[in-house]
Structure 1
Amino acid sequence: MSFSTPLALVLLLALPFTIYLGWPRQRFRRRRDSFSLALRVIILLLLVLALAGTQVVQSADRLAVVFLVDASDSMGQTAREAQLDYLRAALAAMGPDDLAGIVQFGANALVERPLSSVREVARLQSTPATGNTDLAEAIRLGLALFPDDVARRLVILSDGLPTVGDTTAAAELAAASGVEISYARFTPQADLPEVQVTEVRVPSAVNAGQQFDLSLTVEAEASTPATITVLQSGAIFHQETVTLRQGTNNFTLPLEGAGAGFRDFQVQVDPLSSDNFYQNNTLSAFTRVIGPPRVLILSGAPEEARYLQPALEEAGLEVEVAAPEQLPVGLVPLAQYDSIVLADVPATRLSRDRQLALQSYVRDLGGGLVTVGGPDAYGPGGYFQTPLEETLPLDMQVRDQQRLPQLTIVYLIDRSGSMGVGGADGIPNIELAKEAIIRSIDFLQPTDRAGVVSFDTQGYWIADIQDVRDRLSLQRLVASLRAGGGTDILAGMSLTAEAIASDPSDRKHIILLTDGGSNASGLIELAERLNTESGVTTSTIAIGAGAAGFLRNMAEAGGGNYHIVTGAAQIPTIFTVETVLATRSYILEEPFVPVLSAASPIMEGIGAAPPLLGYVATTPKQTAQIILRTPPPFSDPVLAGWQYGLGRAVAFTSDATARWGANWVSWADFVRFWSQAVRWTITESAEGNLETRVVMEGEQARLVVDARSPDGAFLNGLNLRLSLINPRSQAAVLPLRQVAPGCYEAIFTPTDEGAYILHVQGSGRLDGETLTFDLTTGWVMAYSAEYDARGGRADGELLLNSLAALTGGRSLLDDPAGVFAHNLAARSTSTPIWPWLVLAALLLLPVDIAARRLIITRSDVQRLRAFFARTKSAEQPTERLSGLMEAKERGRLRAEERGSTVAALRASREQRRVEPAPPVETPAPTGDKPAYKAPAGAQSPDANLAGQLLKRRKEREGKGD
């Protein structure tokens, strides 16, 4: 017996006091008070034992073993087969009452088999991540599998080379839990000679045009030819074939800092003969080329950059022009640019991944973004509800309903069976169509009207033409669209024409979406008639090359637009574009002079601006700074800017060409205006005052930033933050805390191998002046130590032996049967019994109360005895009870007989009193046989009984007289 809370036993000191208070002091109550006192002492004792956590301790000689099987890449196929053979041999020696479990581990740990008595193992089926070895997690998971009532042992089957996790701490936890750790070390056998890149070195910063060297070191276990490829920002920069010698090979490649910006270099070494791990054949490095700011212009058409590019170059900026589709997707290649300009670029030419990368470039990396308007930008360019709209200081929707005509749109949607088929992204076209309609409805004004018609071989109204005030109910109807059937566009078009022709709205528009073909008969004529007679425009959207070719002619006849969609993901954006164009109110082409509405560095030193000939109407966001506006009554934004995350974005709603900016391209301040607009998005910084380095400490990385003034003095009290971009372009913002004079640190846990971008931004003061810091640098997390073939294998035995020594285990490589040896101390288990003690106390409590409150006399005792006696009699065997019942029945029958006999005698006597009985003749005896003669004094039984009854009656009557 043991106690979980032995301190509670101090309460037993209250027993003497309880006995003293309850001791009987009156002779006539002594027996009852003594009994009550005994009960109270027992109740108090039970409650104290319950509070002390009384437990019944039992010991059991059962053994549970959990095998920790290393499944990481470093083990190799040969070692895995040896592990499986070892498991089978060990399980064959398991005792009848023993238990065994299996945990497989790599970068994580998984339960292959919970504890059971199963002895067979065919193969291991769990699949942990194999890029690292986390033995510590495997130990913790194994400990969690053990019950309390068995002796416990962990057996590690591994090479003993963990790459992550605190293995010693996990072993100390096992030792504290009384768990033994033993091991069987399996040494991996390399199937092929290994080749690995061990180091790539470049200067952390170089000047533009400066020559520098890229140095790399390659380790080879055998001589072999290999190809060395150097990629810069994802493009092949250098490639050559070399012969690797056995051992260490050093190479130097001369490079030049060709352009300012952040440059990443990736080195790949591909041996002609295969090696074991491809993961260690690649390594990266970074450098920052210091020079003029680098700007990327993405132009929707070549003429959009015709005036803009030379203006920026004249201002001393390094400019690169590319098509929107050439925008890099990852943040690492985008980091080489200080600012990016979109010149009349529609959203349909930027995939969603590119838009998200551009958004993250501004928000998380601190890059600059400038958008220039045109007929294909902003609302008409499909920016509504896209990452581009989120990044810019403008909303694409004009909210002044009075300036917009009432619009009616009918969405004519193909619901044939082919629309239910998914594209390259796996999303069915019908689902994208529904998303497109919903987004288009969101763009409409509450006074606008909308309807939805679907068609297969017939036309169906999904939603009648109605006001869009209740958008939610309309969108619910849209969500009910389902694909299935043939394709008859005329059936749907005819149904639509009947309703929209008589609609009272100012603008009426049909958007037809289909992915198939049908008979063109009547369609072009119907679209033309609706346009000329009822002012209804028709636009067509063809999905894929299989759509009908007459859709272009149909759109031309209907006065609308024709779109062919190669990627179905463009459908929602195209619907938004069509909704904007249908209003004919977002592009305003009339001369106006921009009005300066707020001071800004962009307009510094610039006089009055000349007239512009057109712009795209938008709405400014709440926190945006509006620098230029149109004159009243609209006062729409022309130039707006804002801070978005770590970066800045500028939006110019007119263009930079001779279309709307004919007076601007010849303006004397044209170069100054655009250079200052772009430079405003580029954060000026004192980055030369910061030096960074990354130090790996176990699984964590520590970024150290040293801040000094130009004369070497420490810069203290800076407000710095780190924006960390991992190889998957995911961003995290961490504060940098000052830990020493001029030293700031941030700790993060890198989980992905590859290139990390580190963007340090902040501010501080020096000699009364404000300093701004904006530094972008890079750091490479090399491949996992799992793939490092250089030595270190002997350390595995040392580590496993230290874990075993810490917990009392040993090596069991040559003794698989010893895994289930019962040489561990028997495990004692404790079963708490306090609930039973509390229950007993509760049951005794009413007895105690009854003993003190109730007076029991001797007669009460006698009645109690009588009650139990009757109860006992009632519990006699069934045979005796049956006999008694039968006797009772016989007595009842005899009494009934006697009653009938007495009644008969009384009747006879009354009859004799009334008339005398006739004489009785005695027959003469016949023959020789004498007649029977009753003895003297003898009577029949009936006469005897009747006589007795008469006699008793006379006696009663005599007494009555």
Structure 2
Amino acid sequence: MGVSFLYPEALWLGCVLPLVWGVALLAPAHIAAWRRWLSLVVRTIIVLALIGALAGAQLVQPPGITTTIFLLDGSDSVAASQRARAEAFIARALAVMPPDDRAGIIVFGREALVERFPAPERTFGAPVTRPFGSATNIADALQLGLTLLPAEGHRRLVLLSDGGENRGTARLIAQDAAAQGIPIDVAPLTGSADGLDAQIIGVTLPSTAREGQRLPLRIDLESNTSVAGRLMVTGPDRTTVATIPVEIGTDRQTVEILLPEAPAGFNRYTAYLEVPNDARTQNNAIETFSYVRGTPRVLLVAQAPDDAISLERALRAARIEVTVVSPASIPATFGELIRYDAIALINVPRALFSNETVQRIAAYVRDFGGGLLMVGGPQSFGPGGWRGTPVEAALPVTMDIPERQRQPPVSIVVVIDISGSMAATEDGIPKLSLALEGARRIAALLRDEDELTVIPFDDRPGVIVGPLPGSRRDVAIEQLNQVRLGGSGINIHDALRVAARYTRASERPVRHIITITDGNDTTQQEGALDIVRSLHDEGVTLTSVAIGQGDHVPFIRDMAAVGGGRTFLTERAADVPDLLTGETQTIMTPYIVEGSLTPQQAMPHPSLRGIDALPKLYGYVLTTPRETAQTTLVAPDGDVLLAGWQYGLGRSLAWTSDLSGRWAKEWVAWDAFPHFSVQLVTWLLPQQTGDTLTIATHAVGDALVVEAITRTPDGAPHIGLNVESRLIAADGATVETTLREVGPGQYRISLDNLPAGAYLVQIVARDGQGRAVAGATGGAAMPLSAEYRRQAGDRYLLEEIAHITGGRIDPQPHQVFEPGRAARGMAREIGLPLLWLALVLLPLDIALRRVFIRHASIAAALRHIGLRALARRLEPQEALDTGVASSLPSPPTTPPRTITVNRSPASPLVPSANELERLRAAQEAARRRLRGEDEE
């Protein structure tokens, strides 16, 4: 047992002790000697206790127990047999662990995890903790092991690994352990697989190529024993492009395959090695890429093939590669979409695309530099429901119609069938819920000056919503949420009579009724058409929607024919919301303008280069150009026919007429139409920005470094940009990061934990205002982790760790608990107890100098509690202890004299001055004796 101090410099405060002693001894004595000396001892102890507390005094016990932490390699490079051997070693060591010692276990791979905290537990089974095995991080394991070791006792680490480090730097942590006197014993494991291990070491393929070029693919192979196998390579469309037999030996060999001509765009290739009975298959596949630029590729998206046939023929004649698909077949990932240089949406409605696809098309233009062309028609632009979508944001026009074309306020009355047949579900959703969703969409589309009334009806009207102005659309939507299912079939005659009452009461100039009924449940038809006819004569139109085929569909169609509206027949109730949205937009905003017109050129544009006279058009869709758009062609009244603009890194065009025989029959038959179409699409093609932004990628260990170099048009480094990167894997997974500026115009990021494979890389550089100033597309190949490329571990590293720390190589199980060279005793801080000691002694010191208790008081207290014998023993000492008896004069032995004083009746008896002085002196002497001042 010893004493140590955390802050030994505080011991210099002991110099104040002589000062304390000098003051106590040289000061005048006012108390008894024994009190003064005892007080001095107490004060000395108080000062020493305070100095010890300030110095961080602690008691140090000699080291006794040993704490050992086992570091078990759980990475994929350690074969199952080797891991079982390591676990058996730990189990044997724990079985012979001394009684007072403790052991902990850490399992590590890519990261280190605690399997067991230090404890006297002697049993061990298979580890429960499973770290990611795709890397070996010995440094992380050593650091965590040092953290788990206690501050006292004998301490030791035992590393069980193949030494195949590919993350961290174990040597640095070993040096820290050596500085703390902690030895690291090493039990080397082998990195060889349990049996045959053939693998692909690496691949080499040109990262860029010209279209039509056949690329050489070089594949490096290796095996721990000679074996025959088969090597396969799949191409961009995941079809097999090469299959060859191979004979693999123990020496590295290279196989070269001449790939077929690659299509333009980003092409992934995957090499597979098939070998029977391969014990480790993780290293039998590898991805690479090549980026091929060549003939432009254009994707035409059309619902009806005839809508795209004219544009398709014109582009093919110009040797542009064209692919025509339906909306349902549009590429579902960025990786597939960016294989095309431009996309054309030809008279297709928004409802045929998922939300993800709409967002992907907008990002394709903004972030990837692709081109977008929207071609008009009855189901495009506003009539197609594209308003408020990301695609509208990418176009040079909005779906708003010019103010001069706006319709006057509209009153819409919706009659909804709430009979029992509307309870039928579709994909788990009742038909009534879908009909009400359509009504809610109508409410959301209302302008403030419009009006909405919703009449739920079966054999009688339900709770009617409205009439409410568009400014109270939120109230209308809330009330629609309260509509509930009714009973029998809908009495259409009574429903129309109620609807007529509301439409006639409305002051809006445009009035329209929409009926939503089941095709088999529309009863009470007699007289209903007369109501519709009368309303039509008053300027009220009617549209009918029938859900499902049935006997009443002809009557539902007749209602719309008499009412001057349209009939929508649908088998799916899920179509109703979109149908009602489109119908409402048609009523409120007359998007389509039809009639003969000759386009006029508003400003020059590359698409019109070499074109003078323009043929006639017979219709178009109303839109409003954006302020920064280039409006090229307009109708005679100024409406937009052709407009374009830059959106992010890409460009987009809006052609508001169609490209079919309906509105553009003279245009598509025009001799210059192929020339016009090619120039139109050519303007959309991605712009080459290689001079202003270049991409470089390379792997460093298990990290992928992505670098971008930016320049201004005059060649100077472009600094202060926000450079963002997007990496897209073969499965569509996306990794988005922001590059850091590491030098003038040089931006870089290092990506860890990236799965092996080939990645499409898209980089966008933006200025301080968020505007895209440059962009580039390239590729990156993340090689297979070194964890799977090794045939054996690194024994030299393990030996070096043991040598640095003074540990053993291949210790016996009982040796891992032997005391090390350096150990720390168990230290217990006593600063707080010393403070408490000083606080307890301080009142005692004060009592010794200031507090005096008479024996008579003690005797009285003893008598009070029944100890009378002890009280009598204290009573004879009363006079001596208090000093009162000795201070008074002895009693006289002779009778006192009688002093006669003559006084008059009017004069009091007054003692003489001498008598008073003697009395005061006697009292003062008694007080001093009581205080003990005369006991010396």
TM-score, length-scaled by structure 2: 0.72
Q: Which residue of 1 is the match for residue 647 of structure 2?
A: 643
Specify the SS of the correspondent of 1:87.
helix
Partner of 2:131: 128
Query: Are the aligned partners of 1:181 and 1:810 in contact in 2 as well (CA < 8 Å)?
Result: yes
- Contact 1:440–1:575 (CA under 8 A) maintained in structure 2: yes
Which residue identity is paired with 1:338?
Answer: D
Q: Report the Cα distance in structure 1 between the residues aligned to 2:865 and 2:246, rounded to whole angstroms.
A: 107
Distance 1:451 1:407, change over 3 A: closer
Q: Is the 8 A contact 2:490 2:523 kept in 1?
A: no
Measured after TM superposition, the shift of residue 756 of structure 1 is 1.9
* CA 1:265–1:699: 2 relative to 1, 3 Å: closer
The total of aligned residue pairs comes to 836
Matched, 1:779 2:780: yes
**Superposition pairs for residues 556-955 of structure 1, below 5 Å?**
559-562=566-569, 580=585, 583=588, 585-589=590-594, 613-616=618-621, 625=629, 627=631, 639-644=643-648, 646-662=649-665, 664-665=667-668, 674-675=677-678, 677-685=680-688, 687=690, 693-703=696-706, 716-718=716-718, 721=723, 723-727=725-729, 728-732=732-736, 734-735=738-739, 737=741, 746-749=749-752, 751-759=754-762, 775-788=776-789, 790-791=790-791, 793-795=792-794, 797-812=795-810, 815-823=812-820, 825-835=822-832, 861-862=852-853, 873-876=863-866
From 182, 186, 189, give the equivalent of 1:183.
186
What does 1:256-335 correspond to in 2, within 5 Å? 257=261, 259-271=263-275, 273-312=276-315, 317-335=320-338
Give the Cα–Cα distance (whole angstroms) in 2 for the partners of residues 237 and 171 of structure 1: 49
- 2:410 is aligned, of 405, 414, 426, to 405
SS in 1 for 2:105: strand
Q: CA deviation at 1:211?
A: 3.7
Q: Over residues 519-570 of structure 1, what are the superposed CA-to-partner deviations in whole Å (9 max), with x where a residue is unaligned?
A: 934479699979877856454678xxxxx8889889867755355669x8x9
Shift of 1:781: 0.7
Residues in 2 aligned to 1:753 and 1:445: alpha-carbon distance in whole angstroms: 54
Tell me the equivalent position of 2:106. 103
Identify the range of structure 1 (492-501 vs 775-784) with the bigger mean alpha-carbon deviation.
492-501
SS at match of 2:78: helix
**Identical residues among aligned pairs (%):** 30
> C-alpha separation between the residues in 1 aligned to 2:129 and 2:567?
59
Aligned partner of residue 306 in structure 1, secondary structure: helix
Answering whether residue 520 of structure 2 is matched by residue 520 of structure 1, we say yes
Shift of 1:241: 4.9
Change (3 A) 1:281 1:60: same
Which deviates further from its counterpart, 666-675 or 112-121?
Answer: 666-675
Say which SS state the counterpart of residue 77 (structure 2) adopts.
helix
User: Residue 555 of structure 1 contacts residue 562 of structure 1 at CA under 8 Å; is this kept in 2?
Assistant: no
Instruction: Provide Cα deviations, 1:577-636, integer angstroms capped at 9, x if missing partner.
Output: 566467564445466677878887667777797765444455667x85363697799967
Query: Secondary structure of 1:801's match?
Result: helix
Cα 1:278–1:175 change in 2 (3 A) is: same
CA 1:448 to 1:409, structure 2 compared with 1: closer, same or farther past 3 Å? farther
Query: Does the CA-based 8 Å contact 1:520-1:550 persist in structure 2?
Result: yes
Aligned amino acid, residue 639 of structure 1: A
Task: State the match for 1:87 in structure 2.
Answer: 90
Residue equivalent to 2:165: 162
**Structure 1 706/840 Cα, relative in aligned 2: closer, same or farther at 3 Å?**
same
Cα offsets for 1:366-398 (capped at 9, x unmatched): 333333333333444444565545554566577
Q: Distance in 1 between matches of 2:87 and 2:686?
A: 60
On the 8 A contact 1:588/1:617 being kept in 2, the answer is yes
2: CA distance between counterparts of 1:553 and 1:582?
Answer: 24
User: Is the CA contact (8 Å cut-off) linking 1:410 and 1:465 kept in structure 2?
Assistant: no
Contact 1:456 1:487 in 2 (8 A): yes
Classify the secondary structure of the residue corresponding to 2:345. Answer: strand
RMSD, aligned α-carbons: 5.6
* 1:228 aligned residue: 232
Q: CA deviation at 1:778?
A: 1.2
Q: Given the two structures, how large is their TM-score scaled by the length of structure 1?
A: 0.70
Secondary structure (helix, strand or coil) at the match of 1:163 reads: coil
SS in structure 2 at match of 1:224: strand
Contact 1:722 1:736 in 2 (8 A): no
The answer as to whether partners of 2:397 and 2:629 remain within 8 angstroms in 1 is: no
Q: Is contact 1:421-1:429 (8 Å) kept?
A: no
1:482-561 residue pairs with structure 2 within 5 A? 490=489, 503-504=502-503, 506-509=511-514, 520-522=520-522, 537-539=543-545, 559-561=566-568
The 1:624–1:284 alpha-carbon spacing in structure 2 relative to 1, beyond 3 Å, is farther
Q: Partners in 1 of 2:116 and 2:824 — Cα distance? A: 23
Distance 2:489 2:179 in 1: 80
Distance 1:309 1:87, change over 3 A: same
Q: Could you say if the C-alpha distance between residues 657 and 417 of structure 1 is closer, same or farther in structure 2, counting changes exceeding 3 Å?
A: closer
Shift of 1:755: 1.4
Give the direction of change, closer, same or farther, for the CA distance of 1:9–1:397 in structure 2 (3 Å limit). farther
- Unpaired runs of 5+ residues, structure 1, are 423-427, 513-517, 543-547, 765-770, 882-961
SS at match of 1:861: coil
1:770-829 CA distances to partner (integer Å, 9 max, x unpaired)? x996543212112222222x53x142x2222223333333334x6233333344644334
Q: What's the counterpart of residue 207 of structure 2?
A: 204
> CA, structure 1 residues 824+267, in 2 after alignment: closer, same or farther (shift >3 Å)?
same
User: Could you say if the C-alpha distance between residues 121 and 615 of structure 1 is closer, same or farther in structure 2, counting changes exceeding 3 Å?
Assistant: farther
Q: CA offsets per residue over residues 710-744 of structure 1, 9 Å max, x none?
A: 9xxx955245846341414425354475759x987
Deviations 1:402-427 (A, max 9, x none): 656344568889996967969xxxxx
Residues 416 and 455, structure 1, Cα contact 8 Å, conserved in 2: no
Contact 1:171 1:807 (8 Å CA) reproduced: yes
Alpha-carbon distance between aligned partners in 2 of 1:6 and 1:481, rounded to the nearest angstrom: 83
Residues 488 and 519 in structure 1, CA contact (< 8 A), matched pair in contact too: no
Q: CA offsets per residue over residues 246-275 of structure 1, 9 Å max, x none? A: 45554444345454333332333344x352
8 A contact 1:181–1:808 mirrored in 2: yes
Q: 1:107 to 1:749 in 2, by over 3 A?
A: closer
Following superposition, the deviation at residue 111 of structure 1 comes to 3.2
Per-residue CA deviation, residues 154-177 of structure 1 (Å, 9 max, x unaligned), is 333333223333333444454455
Corresponding residue to 1:214 among 186, 202, 217:
217
Residues 412, 493 of structure 1: 8 Å contact kept: no
Which amino acid letter does the alignment assign opposite residue 814 of structure 2?
A
Q: Indicate the SS of the match to 2:235.
A: strand
Name the aligned partner's letter for residue 130 of structure 1: G
| 1:262 counterpart letter in structure 2 | F
Answer yes or no: is the 8 Å Cα contact 1:200–1:215 preserved in 2.
Answer: yes
State which drifts further: 259-268 or 610-619. Answer: 610-619
Give the Cα–Cα distance (whole angstroms) in 2 for the partners of residues 651 and 12 of structure 1.
92
Per-residue deviation, residues 663-718 of structure 1 (Å, max 9, x unmatched): 544567755665555444444335379876433223433346689999xxx95524
Q: Could you report, residue by residue, the CA deviation over 1:902-945 in whole angstroms, capped at 9, with x for unpaired residues?
A: xxxxxxxxxxxxxxxxxxxxxxxxxxxxxxxxxxxxxxxxxxxx
Alpha carbons of structure 1 residues 583 and 519: separation in structure 2 relative to 1, 3 Å: closer
Aligned to 2:372: 369
Q: d(CA) in 2 for partners of 1:59 and 1:619?
A: 88
Structure 2 CA distance for partners of 1:110 and 1:173, relative to 1, 3 Å: same
For 1:676 and 1:224, how far apart are their aligned partners in 2?
56
Q: CA deviation at 1:236?
A: 1.2
Q: Is the 8 A contact 1:71 1:105 kept in 2?
A: yes
Distance in 1 separating the partners of 2:322 and 2:186? 63
> Structure 1 residues 356, 409: closer, same or farther in 2, change over 3 A?
same
Change (3 A) 1:519 1:378: closer
- Consecutive unaligned residues of structure 2, counting only runs of 5 or more, are 561-565, 872-936
CA distance in 2, matches of 1:230, 1:137: 38
Give the partner amino acid of 1:131: S
Letter of the structure 2 residue corresponding to residue 799 of structure 1: L
